[in-house]
Structure 1
Amino acid sequence: MTNSNYLNISDILVSNEKIPCKILQDLPKMGFLDPSATEDDLKVGSNVEIPLWLGETLYSRRPPLVSVDLPKIYKDAYREILNADACTIDLHKFAQYFYELGCYIAKYDIKGEVATTLVNTFKQRFRMLLAASVSNDSIGTMQPLSVSERERAAAAAATEHALSAWLQRGDSPLTTACMVANHRKRKRAEMEML
């Protein structure tokens, strides 16, 4: 996992998300990965859902032991919905770590459409994210947001609150710096000489 962060809890949770994979070689004693398997071995052609970290490990072997498929939220049907109107989707319900998982999955997308969908989705949802960051009713507005969107909205709300508290204090008003004031005086004097 090239862009992983070993000590980041969010990254650990993202890498534990299940992704669909197809077995490319017989895997002895790995039948427990497929709940519908009746044998102890996983046979070639079996479809399983395994954690991302395991899928990447098995894919990176030479020759690869699995082929990684895109999760349903990144497939064509959902991409069309997200490109049409991303604000109608409850990302928290479909994929809590939509953007983070998409960054991992994008390297398995041959067409490169997942990366484009991630950017377009964020662009469309940015206004909703801003509304959630300044809203007083935070639970209602944050419900359809993914985990990363919630974190950014909470950080923006904290910044907004700190700024308004600082502005209301009034004990340190903004003034023009001496250097800027002297520069303006010098420019004005030069203009008057001409």
Structure 2
Amino acid sequence: MSCSNYLSITDILVSHEKVPCKFFYDLPKMGFLDPSAVDDDLKAGTNTEIPLWLAESLHSRRPPLLSVDLPKIYKDAYREILNADACTVDLYKLGQHFYELGCYVAKYDIKGDVTNTLINTFKQRFRMLLTASASNDSIGSMQPLSGSERKFAAAAAVTENAISMWLQRGDCALKTANMVANHRKRKRAEMEMF
């Protein structure tokens, strides 16, 4: 996995998400991958969902053993909804790791629509993300946010509170650094020489 992070719990959870696949060849003793299979062998043409990490490793073999299809949240029906008004969609219910999984499966999208959808969705939801980060009612405002959006909003709220506390303190006025003041004096001296 090229964009994986070995030490990230989020990345581990994303790589365990199931993606739809279609097998090209008969695989002996692999029937357990398909819950509806009655044989021990997995037959060619079988459609099933397997974890992303397994799908990527089987797809990267030469020749590929399967084709990876896009999960339903990245298909045309959901794409149209997200492009129309992404702020009304509860991404947490669709998939907690909407953006992360989208980055993984974008390489299986020939048209490149997944990448455009991820970018457009984030652009539309950015204002809602800022509102959630400045809001005091964190549970109510974070309800429709995905897992990564919740992390961003929580980090932004911490930063917002730190800035507010710093501004309210008022006991330490900003001063010009000595290096900057000396630089200005030097520039003025150089200008007066000419």
Question: Is the structural similarity TM-score above 0.5?
Answer: yes
Residue 106 (structure 1) shift = 0.4
One-letter amino acid of the counterpart of residue 110, structure 1: I
Task: Tell me the distance in 2 between the aligned counterparts of 1:127 and 1:9.
Answer: 27
Unmatched 5+ stretches in structure 1: none
TM-score by length of 1: 0.92
Single out whichever of 81-90 and 164-173 deviates more from structure 2: 164-173
2: distance between equivalents of 1:139 and 1:44? 47
> 1:137 maps to which residue?
137
Residue pairs, 1:29-48, within 5 angstroms? 29-48=29-48
Task: Give 2:36's aligned amino acid.
Answer: S
1:21-65, CA deviations, whole angstroms, 9 ceiling, x for partnerless residues? 001111111111111111111111111100000000110011111
Mapped to 2, the partners of 1:174 and 1:122 lie a distance apart of 36
Deviations 1:46-90 (A, max 9, x none): 111000000001100111111000000000111111111101110
Count of matched residue positions in the alignment of Structure 1 and Structure 2: 193
Following superposition, the deviation at residue 185 of structure 1 comes to 11
Post-superposition Cα deviations, 1:125-157, rounded to whole Å, max 9, x if no partner, equal 000100110101000111111110000000000
Q: How do 1:78-117 residues align onto structure 2 when only pairs under 5 Å count?
A: 78-117=78-117
Q: Give me the TM-score of the superposition, normalised by structure 2.
A: 0.92
Among all aligned residue pairs of Structure 1 and Structure 2, give the percentage whose two residues are the same amino acid: 74
Report the alpha carbon displacement of residue 116 of structure 1 after superposing the two structures with TM: 0.7
Give, in whole Å, the separation in 2 of the partners of 1:26 and 1:88.
44
Moved over 6 A (4+): none
SS in 1 for 2:154: helix
Give the gaps of 5 or more residues in structure 2: none
RMSD (Å) for aligned C-alpha atoms: 2.1
How does 1:16-27 map onto structure 2 within 5 Å? 16-27=16-27
- Name the aligned partner's letter for residue 137 of structure 1: D
Q: Alpha-carbon deviations, 1:91-126, whole Å to 9, x = none?
A: 000011010000000000000111011000000000
